[in-house]
Structure 1
């Protein structure tokens, strides 16, 4: 009689816009290629050079994929739709860990859907975030201030590791990669 393989752990990376999640994920992907699976989300926004690598979809195409069962998890935030591919279920069922750029808003639902979920919360000093957002040129100072005021805490639904990305990217990246490895190699169904 063989025992069932333990389910792989999903690691959700969360943090407000401008905190540097995409930069950290890019560096981690380079370092951990082959060791961890980085989930490519489908999002109803065009692909841009300065944003996350994702599959772009129109609202109609996203809705059709969702209705056909093409996503194992989907949500809406900030006027956009986000979906995780159905293939993620097989990956986790095979006992392999995965990393996804998540959303604080849906962490309770993710924790229900993905047993053993772990969270890496990326933070930064609000002044640093504001400067980064203003440098992007997508929002004016009032919009940036409003965005910072909306910042919500991470719900306590799974183990959390906090990474401060206020300073040098390389230092935060080393800590971030260490957190991903630690979560990935721990029992996905334990409470850590």
Structure 2
């Protein structure tokens, strides 16, 4: 059986990754054969707007020691993990969609030949307005975040696919579902990613 495709979603804070994933969960067509992974995070449940699974630091480190994470990283004071259940999903031929970390991407690409990076694209002005409306950061902090995002975009691999989330949320959700439909293993056999090339 051909392994599924691993869609590795990245994007700036405020780009709407969580909203896109939640929208996809609500309307995943069966023919996509796509599973959306929940992240395991040491951040409290209900914080941050993400539908994640909360773990204490002790439980997180235990799972890490037991090899229960396919991927894990530390960012902004929290530990993040993707469970190794995604390997069983991929082995079964399912496509898998995860909310990844840009900093972890090179390591993830070295581990998974079937990984496809997906960048959630939002115009800088629109992203700035979303961050201002959110009200969590000062204007200077927002500009620093926008600058980091611009550097991230410039450093993404050439094989990165893009999903626009500039408009209505339902349009972004449909664009992401279309991307899985177009590039998932049930339609095309994905060649090894560009870093192996």
- Give the TM-score, by structure 1 length: 0.87
Hey, what's the Cα distance between the residues in 1 that align with 2:193 and 2:19?
28
**Pairwise CA RMSD:** 2.0
Pair 1:160 & 2:160 matched: yes
Cα distance in 1 between the residues matched to 2:101 and 2:48 = 19
Cα shift at 1:50: 5.8
SS in 1 for 2:136: coil
| Corresponding position: 1:82 with 2:84 | no
Residue 104 of structure 2 corresponds to 106
- Please state how far the C-alpha of 1:99 moved relative to its aligned partner: 0.4
Partner of 2:42: 44
Write out per-residue CA displacement over residues 152-180 of structure 1, whole angstroms, 9 at most, x where no aligned residue.
125317x3221221222222222221012
Partner of 1:169: 169
Shift of 1:143: 1.7
Q: Which deviates further from its counterpart, 58-67 or 38-47? A: 58-67
Match of 2:60 in 1: 62
How many residues are treated as equivalent by the alignment?
A: 187
Secondary structure of the corresponding residue to residue 11 of structure 1: strand
Q: Which runs of 5+ in 1 are unaligned?
A: none
Structure 2 regions of 5+ residues with no counterpart? none
- The answer to whether the 8 A contact 1:15-1:123 is kept is yes
- 1:150 aligned partner: 148
- Offset, 1:41: 0.8
Deviation at 1:79, TM superposition (A): 2.5
What's the secondary structure of 1:105's corresponding residue? coil
SS at match of 2:103: helix
Structure 1 moving runs of 4+ over 3 Å:
188-192
CA contact (8 A) 1:14 1:101 kept: yes
TM-score, normalized by length of structure 2? 0.85
1:49 offset after TM fit, Å? 6.5
